[in-house]
Amino acid sequence: MSKTWFSSDDEIAAIADGVVHRTLPKPEWTHAAHFACALYLLRHRGIERTLAEMPDLIRAYNLATGVANTDSEGFHATITTASIRAASPVLEGFGPNVGLHLVLDVLMAGPLGESKWPLAYWTRERLFSVEARRGWVEPDVAPLNFRSRPSVEA
């Protein structure tokens, strides 16, 4: 790992709390923060609840920070769902006592650390379609395979 994104789990919790309560300053809602929030919710709420709740959390957060949720900006259902599904096995590869900030460092050091990672699975046209923004759209470049987990020593 070459970069440390957050130095503690308290910072990860603050990101998630800021999204849930719509108080996180917009400049802090980065690619890493998206995954930090997802990891926090996955650990504390599980995948099904996170998949169910994250869309409304992001939509509400966007509105609170002046970002409209339209057919061309704001919440993106396919990217959100894929990101949660991608983060879940990374988290599962760690024991429950491994800090989320360490899990995030591993996640961000891999392909998911690049904000354009979904383009390995979807064409730009399909990924940024209105249909994909509004709901789940299956990949058209490669199938999603998020079963592999990093080997972890902690």
In the predicted model, is pLDDT for residue 29 greater than 90?
yes
- Residue 66 falls in which region: left (phi positive, over 0), alpha (psi -120 to 50) or beta: left
The angle at the Cα of 67, spanning 55 to 125, to the nearest 5 degrees, equals: 70
Domain regions of the chain by residue span: 9-134
Nearest to 139 by CA among 120, 153, 111, 115: 120
Which of 19-23, 70-74, 145-149 is predicted least confidently? Answer: 145-149
Is residue 151 pLDDT above 90, yes or no?
no
Give the HSE-up count for residue 103: Cα atoms under 13 Å, Cβ half-sphere.
Answer: 27
Question: Which token pair is 72?
Answer: 């061309």
Token pair listed for 10: 């308290």
Query: Token pair for residue 140?
Result: 């058209």
pTM of the complete model? 0.91
Q: Give whole-number Cα distances, 19 to 28, 64, 90, in Å.
A: 10, 10, 22
* pLDDT score, position 154: 36
